[in-house]
Amino acid sequence: MRFVHPHRGPWRTVSGDDGPLVSITPQPHLLLSLAEWHAVRGHWPQGMPVGVQFANDLDVEVLEVDLPRLALVALEFPKWTDGRAYSQARLLRSRLRYAGEVRATGEVLVDMLPLLARTGFDAVALRADQRQDAAERALGYFGGHYQGDMLDAQPLFAKPPGWAEHAARPPVREFVDAGVSI
Amino acid sequence: MYKHTPFDRHVIRQRAAQFRDQLQRHLGGQLGEEEFRALRLQNGWYIQRHAPMLRVAVPYGEISATQLRALARIAREYDRGYAHFTTRQNVQFNWIPLARAADVMDELAAVDMHGIQTSGNCIRNITTDAFAGIAPDEIVDPRPYCEILRQWSTLHPEFAFLPRKFKIAVTGAVEDRAAIAWHDIGLQLRRNDAGEVGFRVHVGGGMGRTPVIASVAREFVPWQQILVYIEAIVRVYNRYGRRDNAFKARIKILVKAEGQKFFEAVETEFHNILERDEAGSAHLIPQAELDRVSRSFRVPVGVAQPAAANDASMRDAPGVPLAHQRWLARNVHSHRLNGYRAVTLSLKRPGQPPGDATAEQLERAATLADRYSFGELRVTHDQNLVLPWVRTGDLRALWEDARAANFATPNIGLLTDMIACPGGDFCGLANARSIPVAAAITERFDDLDELYDIGNIDLHISGCINSCGHHHSGHIGILGVDKDGMEWYQVALGGSDGSALSGAPLPAKVIGPAFAADEVPDVIEALIDTYRRERSGAEHFIETVRRVGVESFKSAANAVRRATAREFAA
């Protein structure tokens, strides 16, 4: 899982204070709203990295035809308890075979990490007050899961003999000793 | 009962460790109240009126004597000495301090118990018929499927933050004793013409502000496909269920609003999972998995069927005390195995709220289970306990022991075998108290002869519209309402949970403006008197209501108003 900081890294949005820009000059690593992308996709240069910030109340299927050209799809958690983006991510990966970056944005809290990882997110922009080391620790609790997911498609019942026992072995001593306090 | 593997134990243990970390961060000020709330709910912890409440999962109602003893220990060491069994076959504690919550989860984990997903906007405990695996009218034992469903839904990463809670019930018998039509998903196990096992899938039932009976989504889903089909339903719900209004966020609202489009969306999603998704067929259930899980649910070692059915009722034998005869008639149920019975331990008696058991009673129930039922019990959806493997030869001894433990009130199915939520005495959501109402009615109808004359009747009491007491499905339903800061009770008639006695599932009809608390026992008495006057032959209360309609019942109830008489006349 990659941890993204909005003010670092190459991606930029274009929307100004006055609302969406009338015209957008293509440049690398623009993160566009769906409307902005629709306005420019006809002439976006081949191979220039572009991303879409995609609202959680839209159907990801509308992106299907564009996905091969998108380096980044940023999904949203307007509230961390609004779980629609988990379905969006899963569909992007599993149904639409999207291989670019799927990023979690909005109210992204450390305790969401296992769910994000397992539904197909590979990058998160944590809320400002959330600590990355706590998020990484949150990923380490379970050696395996009952149901298949975007990290491991096979549910437990399809695993080879011995897999479950190995997954259930006691946690590594070092992890236990490190503790889990922030 | 399901035998936990090292992996199952790993999940429970690690979940407890994860919760301990979250609790510590919360108590240490690093995890705010609002953020901790959703996390603790998904481990069963509510902050309630007086104290935190813990809801412990009892998967599809199966519980062991060992587990009951652990619950007794927790009640004694962490709580105020008792526990409460719920209408979803779970068990609740009301007084455990939050600071000790992580320790309690560790104690539960040691006996394969937990509070995973007993609350929160996720898939909750899968419930079923308390007679699963032992009922004479069973078509297919639902328990292996319940366990497979439980595992699939446990910590499912996509469905941890649905618009609202999601409840699934399964039945495998001719009679629906699991109220499946009242659930978000109700599953009826059946066989098709070729004899293959599958499910009739109902979607969109629910109680609350808007009681709705579920619609049939599919007449037959082959059992191998049921996880994928449910995944399709829940994904459509997660994507399109309302998130703007918590009172309109259940799947029943989406089903009603979209109608046929909803069902088409489910079929399309189901098709897409299997036909388009990478690893889309991964969750088709293999025969080997059904076989593995089913092995846990075979008849316990030591259960042996006698050669001939020497099952003549002991009721009419000379010298049998009347109390024992009554107990045999009410609390002892037929069994699919010759020489065995299912026995209900009644948790409905004067002096204790319905569904409550003290620590000592929990231990006594454990002893009864060990002695008479191979260590196994069931929690029923109407808040009693069942011993599922009792030899007919042991019935007299069991009765004596059950009586000594105050479990032998011979009232199963009768008026005092009522469902009641904990209500305003405990629950921060409640508008009114339900326990005093239940107690007053129990006290008014303390004559067993009278109870027997009234016969089978479902009285359900909820302290608020959240309907944990299932008032919508009662033959008589009582709902606590808050008006002008005082407690009032709306009375409704003629509901059905879909059982054979009650008929097709149906919400009860309110019979008039709310009553005052002290009018309620008089109202119940007036309704019962009307029934006795109007009944024809041996018909039950609900049958009389269906035959003659509610008007005469309404008049009788309204005639006993005192405090609310003026309001009613206005």
Name which residue leads in pLDDT, B424 or A158. Answer: A158
CA atoms of B165 and B104, how far apart (whole Å):
24
Asked if the Cβ–Cβ distance from B17 to A95 is below 8 Å, we say: no
pTM of the model: 0.96
Q: How far is A142 from chain B (nearest CA, A)?
A: 6
Contacts A155 to B, Cβ<8 Å? 152, 282-283
Same domain, B143 and B269: yes
| CA B302 – CA B321 distance, rounded (Å) | 30
Q: What percent of chain A has pLDDT over 90?
A: 84
Window 59-78 of A, Cβ < 8 Å to B: 59
B11/A142 Cβ within 8 A:
yes
Pick A147's closest partner by Cβ from B6, B18, B283: B283
For A117, residues 6+ apart whose C-beta sits below 8 A from its C-beta are: A1, A139, A150, A151, B157
Contact B152 A95 (CB under 8 A): no
A66 or B426, higher pLDDT: A66
Per-residue confidence at B563, pLDDT binned at 50, 70, 90? confident
Using CA coordinates, name the residue in chain A closest to B228. Answer: A147
Q: What are the residues whose beta carbons fall under 8 Å from the beta carbon of B567, sequence distance 6 or more?
A: B513
A90 at B interface, C-beta within 8 A:
yes
* Closest chain B C-alpha to A147 CA, distance in angstroms: 5
Is the CB of residue B63 less than 8 Å from the CB of residue B96?
Answer: no
- When pLDDT is cut at 50, 70 and 90, the band that residue B524 belongs to is very high
| Domain span at A25 | 2-178
Domain match, B282 and B319 both:
no
Chain B stretch 182-221, residues whose beta carbon is closer than 8 A to a beta carbon of chain A: none
Q: Determine the distance in angstroms separating the CA of B422 from the nearest CA of chain A, rounded to an integer.
A: 28
pLDDT of residue B227: 98
Q: B561 to each of B41, B293, B513, B523, B565, how far by Cα in Å? A: 41, 56, 10, 8, 5
For residues A141-167, average pLDDT: 96
Cα of B172 to nearest chain A Cα, Å? 23
Q: List % helix, strand, coil for chain A (3-state, nearest 5).
A: 35, 15, 50
Tell me, yes or no, whether B121 lies in a domain: no
Whether residues B291 and B152 share a domain: the answer is yes
Pull the structure tokens for residue B189.
């196990």
Of B35, B38, B289, the CB nearest to A157: B289
User: What H or E segment, with its residue span, contains residue B376?
Assistant: strand B376-379
Question: From the CB of residue B217, how many other CB atoms can be counted at a distance below 10 Å?
Answer: 22
pLDDT digits (tens, 9 = 90+) for B355-385: 999 999 999 999 999 999 999 999 999 999 9
* Integer CA distances (angstroms), B442 to B84, B203, B439, B453, B553, in order: 18, 36, 5, 15, 20
* pLDDT tens digit sequence for A73-97: 999 999 999 999 999 999 999 999 9
Helix, strand, or coil here: B179? coil
pLDDT of residue B428: 79
Query: Does the pLDDT value for residue A101 go beyond 80?
Result: yes
- Same domain for B387 and B286? no
What CATH number does the domain containing A34 carry? 3.20.20
Measured at the alpha carbon of residue B353, what is the angle toward residues B376 and B186, in degrees to the nearest 5? 55
Residue A86: which of B18, B157, B289 has the nearest Cβ? B157
pLDDT of residue A70: 98
Contact: B238, A167; criterion CB under 8 Å: no
pLDDT of residue A22: 67
Examine residue B412 and state whether it is found in any structural domain, yes or no: no
Per-residue pLDDT band for A174 (boundaries 50, 70, 90) equals: very low
Q: Measured between CB atoms, does B160 come within 8 Å of chain A?
A: yes
Is residue B498 scored above 80 in pLDDT?
Answer: yes
Final residue belonging to a domain, choices B404, B432, B462: B404
Using a CB-CB cut-off of 8 Å, the residues of chain B touching A138 are 18
CA pair distance B158, B177, nearest whole angstrom: 31
Q: Which of B38, B276, B289 is opposite residue A95, by nearest beta carbon?
A: B276
Residue labelled with tokens 């990295």? A49
Amino acid making up residue B201? V
**Strand, helix or coil at B516?**
strand
Given a cut of 80, whether residue B318 has pLDDT beyond it is no
What is the DSSP code string of B523-539? HHHHHHHHHHHH--TT-
Position B482 scores a pLDDT of: 85
The CA-CA-CA angle for residues B455, B206, B249, to 5°, reads 160
B442 with B332, same domain: the answer is no
Confidence of residue A176 (pLDDT cuts 50, 70, 90): low
Q: B239 — contact with chain A (CB < 8 Å)? A: yes
Looking at chain A from residue 111 to 170, which residues have their Cβ under 8 Å from any Cβ of chain B?
Answer: 111, 114-115, 117-119, 134, 137-138, 141-149, 153-158, 164-165, 167-168
pLDDT grade for B316, boundaries at 50, 70 and 90: low
Query: Which structure tokens are listed for B196?
Result: 């293959």
Encode pLDDT of B415-438 as tens digits: 999 999 988 888 878 888 999 999
On whether the CB atoms of residues B380 and B86 are closer than 8 A, the answer is no
Q: What pLDDT sits at residue A181? A: 47
pLDDT higher than threshold 90 for residue B570? no
Q: Which residues contact B255 (CB under 8 A, 6 or more apart)?
A: B203, B204, B212, B215, B262
Domain count, chain B: 4
Q: Say whether B24 and A149 touch across the interface (CB within 8 A).
A: no
**CA dist., res. B545 & res. A24, Å (int):** 71
Cross-chain residue pair B239–A149, CB shorter than 8 Å: no
d(CA A60, CA A88): 6
Nearest CA in chain A to B292: A157
Question: CB within 8 A of A164, min separation 6: which ones?
Answer: A144, A156, B5, B6, B7
- Averaged pLDDT of chain B: 95
* Helical spans, DSSP H, in A7-46: 34-40
Find the closest chain B residue to A87 by CA distance: B158
Residue B120 lies in a domain: no
pLDDT beyond 50 at B446: yes
ipTM associated with this complex: 0.95
Phi, psi (degrees; rounded to nearest 5) at B567: -60, -40
Shortest Cα distance, chain A CAs vs residue B260, angstroms: 20
From the list A145, A154, A168, the residue facing B282 with the nearest CB is: A154
Q: Which domain holds residue B255?
A: 127-296
Number of domains in chain A: 1
CB-based contact A115 B289, cutoff 8 Å = no
Boundary residue ending a domain (B296, B326, B357): B296
Beta carbons of A143 and B24 less than 8 Å apart: no
Whole-number pLDDT of residue A14: 87
Which residue of chain B has the CA closest to A84?
A: B239
What single-letter amino acid sits at B504? Answer: A
Q: Check residue B198 and report its DSSP letter.
A: E
CB contact under 8 A, A148 and B283: yes
A182: pLDDT strictly greater than 50 = no
pLDDT grade for B315, boundaries at 50, 70 and 90 = low
Per the CB < 8 A criterion, the answer to whether B210 and B197 are in contact is no
Q: Are residues B156 and B280 in the same domain?
A: yes
Extract the runs of DSSP E, i.e. beta strands, from chain A: 2-3, 12-13, 30-33, 50-54, 72-77, 101-106, 123-124
Query: Looking at residues B35-50, what average pLDDT do you find?
Result: 90
Tell me which residue in B35, B276, B289 faces A109 most closely, judged by beta carbons: B35
How many A-B residue pairs are in contact by the CB < 8 A criterion? 126
Quick one: B230 and B325 in the same domain? no
* Residue A119 C-beta-side C-alpha neighbours within 13 Å: 28
Helices B520-534 and B551-559: crossing angle, nearest 10°? 140
User: Partners of B84 in the beta sheet?
Assistant: B92, B356
- Span B176-202, average pLDDT: 98
Among the partner-chain residues B38, B235, B283, the one whose CB lies closest to the CB of A87 is B235
Residue of A nearest to B21 (CA): A180
